[in-house]
Amino acid sequence: MARAHTRALRSHTAASCRWCQKQTGASFALHAFIEKNKLKILAGEVEEVTVESPSGAGQVMTRCSKCHFAVWSVYLSLGPEAEVVRSLDVGTLDEPDACPPDYHIYTHHKQRWITFSDDIPVFDQLYDENEIWPKDKLLRRRKALEKKTQKMRLEPIHEGDYVAG
């Protein structure tokens, strides 16, 4: 069991992403992106499984070691953000209704029977976060990335050698 100690940076459905459909066995996946340091395992053990992803970079899925449900994922294609943000599977929450999608993405391959309301933006592919996200959420993400950067420093191991640590 895990708990998020904040609202999501963003929440979106990957309604048409055939990859997500195959991974989840559902018509779409609903993910809430949350800073890693805002998540806490409350009970039980988790295990990580690295799987292929459409980007080729891979995806690390964190699953409950008892029931094997996916709890969150790390999309390695996100670069530095992959180290500080987790993609929480909204369907695993006790109250998934509390985390509705902010956007529908990858809708170009949605199943024909799915329809969208006019109150949530719809994108054929992914969107430009800098153009779409609210300023407060962009600031939160930037702060999380800055904290990661501040923790990295260069230390000499031997004269002339430097390693990020």
pLDDT value, residue 46: 92
Say how far apart CA 103 and CA 14 lie, in whole Å: 9
Q: Could you tell me which of 84, 99, 97, 98 has the C-alpha nearest to residue 140?
A: 84
How confident is the model over 120-159, as pLDDT tens digits? Answer: 999 998 888 888 888 888 888 888 888 765 554 434 343 4
pTM of the model: 0.75
The pLDDT assigned to 162 comes to 32
Q: Which fold has domain 2-164?
A: glutathione-dependent formaldehyde- activating enzyme (gfa) (3.90.1590)
pLDDT confidence of residue 100: 87
Which residues in the chain come in under a pLDDT of 50?
152-165
pLDDT at 164: 34
